[in-house]
Copies of this chain bind each other. A is one copy, B any other.
Amino acid sequence: MIFGAILAGGIGKRMDKHNIPKQFIDLCGKPIIIHTIERMLAVKEFDHIFIAIHSDYKDYLKNILSQYGLDNKHEIIIINGGRERIDSVQNVVDAAYELNKNLDDVIVLHDAVRPFISKTVLINSIATASKYGACVAVIPVVDTIYFYNSEEIVDCPERAKLCNGQAPDSFKLGILKNSIEQLTEDERKIITGTAQICRSKGYSVKTIPGDYQNIKITTENDLIFAESILKKRGFK
């Protein structure tokens, strides 16, 4: 089976003015997460699409799914999100394994707040994980990146060797499950990308080309940019 998963466990409300978690903020007349769900649903390869959400927002999510005519989609399975991203990933992996008990199944992890994911990237991600076991969508780094401490530059890595990890990250279930089980508590705390989980346990993680418009909406600036992308595309 091929599983999609939308990680929407966040309950942070830090973005100015908005009093709801980021994935529910309106983007041109629709909550961000609805844009994301629609993009995932457009990929027919997915047998099921998990949405991992904090239990406090389950009913809220069900309401908006209904509002946008998505409550009858049999692909969608709502599960509990965890406290941190890694906890949500673990819940998704457990749910997928529970459903089909096949470690060769592929799971495609995507962020609720990346609503511009393209069908091309999703399909490439599925194909690459099926073939190689693990992959992540990346784009070359544009800015100069430094290692720093609170006061000064510590090291200057060569830009051409760096990439920005986007989402989706896709994996054969067995590889991701095995890697998560091996994580120490300390590792769980510092890991920010899902690909890191498998890489840190020695698995090879392939890169596939992401997309500059596949942005993660985490600041008010991102939201402004997201609106302008949609308007340029003629979204009403």
Which residues of A are interface residues toward B (Cβ below 8 A)?
136, 138, 141-149, 151-166, 190, 192-193, 195-196, 199-200, 204-207, 212-213, 216, 218-219, 221, 224-225, 227-229, 232
Docked CA distance A147–B159 (Å): 9
A153-B199, A225-B225 given; name 13 further pairs at CB < 8 Å: A138-B146, A144-B195, A145-B163, A146-B165, A146-B196, A149-B161, A151-B207, A152-B207, A156-B199, A159-B192, A212-B221, A221-B229, A224-B225
Docked CA distance A206–B162 (Å): 22
Using Cβ atoms and an 8 Å threshold, which residues of chain B touch A163?
145-146, 148
Instruction: Out of B145, B205, B224, name the residue touching A162 (CB < 8 Å).
Output: B145
A150 to chain B, nearest CB (A): 8
Docked CA distance A221–B221 (Å): 13
Using Cβ atoms and an 8 Å threshold, which residues of chain B touch A144?
164-165, 192-193, 195-196
Docked CA distance A195–B152 (Å): 11
- Closest partner residue, chain B, to A207 (CB atom): B148
Contact across chains for B225 and A142 when beta carbons are under 8 A apart: no
Q: Which of A152, A219, A227 has the most CB of B within 10 A?
A: A152
- Closest partner residue, chain B, to A139 (CB atom): B143
Using Cβ atoms and an 8 Å threshold, which residues of chain B touch A145?
141, 145, 162-165
Given known contacts A152-B207, A156-B193, A227-B228, is B143 in contact with A165 (CB within 8 Å)? yes
Given known contacts A143-B164, A145-B163, A221-B212, is B190 in contact with A158 (CB within 8 Å)? yes
Using Cβ atoms and an 8 Å threshold, which residues of chain B touch A141?
145
A113 to chain B, nearest CB (A): 12
Docked CA distance A232–B136 (Å): 34
Docked CA distance A92–B60 (Å): 58
Using Cβ atoms and an 8 Å threshold, which residues of chain B touch A158?
190
Using Cβ atoms and an 8 Å threshold, which residues of chain B touch A147?
157, 161-162
Q: Which of A141, A160, A212 has the most CB of B within 10 A?
A: A141
